[in-house]
Amino acid sequence: MTDSTVTLQDLKQKMADFVRERDWEQFHTPKNISMSIAIEAAELMEHFQWLTVEQSQQLDAKALAAIGEELADIVIYSLSMANFLKLDLAETVLAKMDKNIRKYPADKVHGKSHKYTYYQDKDRSEC
């Protein structure tokens, strides 16, 4: 199974089944899940904490596997949050990407890394 064959709904259902089979719905509240996402994100950052930019771009298989597990934990908790809140993740991600496209117009930001407010015109309040 790969990204090209598994849907978000498949992943959400697998997570819902996992939680239900363990009677963990009582613990998987938005407050708890949001904290878990932050904790897992911190664990992901630990893998890069003392690396140079160059080292972070040249990871060996062992490091990639460990980083992949932390990233998976973040996605897993995110799926659980979406299930609890009954969010359609595809719809939510696509809407956010549309917003990001407006906030970061390619012709203005190409090759730059400023926050979107840097690019706003004074009369533009859309972003």
Q: Where are the domain boundaries for CATH 1.10.287.1080 in the chain?
A: 1-87
Q: What angle do CA 46, 22, 28 make, to 5 degrees?
A: 55
Unique residue bearing structure tokens 């259902």? 13
Give the confidence band of 124 by pLDDT, cuts at 50, 70, 90.
very low
Fold of 1-87: Helix Hairpins (1.10.287)
Could you say which DSSP state residue 118 is in? G
Taking only the tens place, the pLDDT of each residue in 59-111 is 999 999 999 999 999 999 999 999 999 999 999 999 999 999 999 989 988 99
In the predicted model, what is the mean pLDDT of the chain? 93
The pTM of this model reads 0.85
Closest CA to 81 of 18, 12, 24: 12
pLDDT value at residue 114: 86
User: Residue 120 pLDDT more than 80?
Assistant: no
Percent of the chain with pLDDT over 90: 80
Separation CA 115–CA 104 (nearest Å): 9
